[in-house]
Amino acid sequence: MSLSRALPRIAALVLVLVLVSGCGTGALSGLLGTTAGKAKQTASQAKNATTKSKSSQKFTVTMTDELKFDPPTLTVPKGAKVTWQNKGQVAHTVTDDPAKVADKSHVSLPEGAQPFDSGPISAGASWSQTFKTPGTYHYVCLPHEAAGMAGTIVVTP
Ligand SMILES: [Cu+2]
pLDDT value at residue 118: 98
Peptide bond into 143 cis (omega under 30): no
CB neighbours (10 Å) of residue 138? 16
Residue 126 CA to ligand 1 center (angstroms) comes to 13
Residue 12 CA to ligand 1 center (angstroms) comes to 86
Residue 75 CA to ligand 1 center (angstroms) comes to 21
pLDDT value at residue 56: 57
**Residuewise pLDDT in 10s, the chain (157 residues):** 444 555 445 344 343 333 344 444 444 444 444 444 444 454 444 444 444 444 557 999 999 999 999 999 999 999 999 999 999 999 999 999 999 999 999 999 999 999 999 999 999 999 999 999 999 999 999 999 999 999 999 999 9
pLDDT value at residue 76: 98
Name the pTM for this structure.
Answer: 0.65
Residue 20 CA to ligand 1 center (angstroms) comes to 74
Residue 144 CA to ligand 1 center (angstroms) comes to 5
Radius of gyration of the chain (CA): 32
CATH topology of domain 59-156: Immunoglobulin-like (2.60.40)
Q: Which SS3 state, helix, strand or coil, does residue 51 take? A: helix
Rounded to whole angstroms, the Cα distance separating 140 from 118 reads 11
Q: Which residues contact 58 (CB under 8 A, 6 or more apart)?
A: 81, 83
Residue 156 CA to ligand 1 center (angstroms) comes to 26
- Name which of 147, 157, 155 is nearest 63 in CA terms: 147
Residue 127 CA to ligand 1 center (angstroms) comes to 13
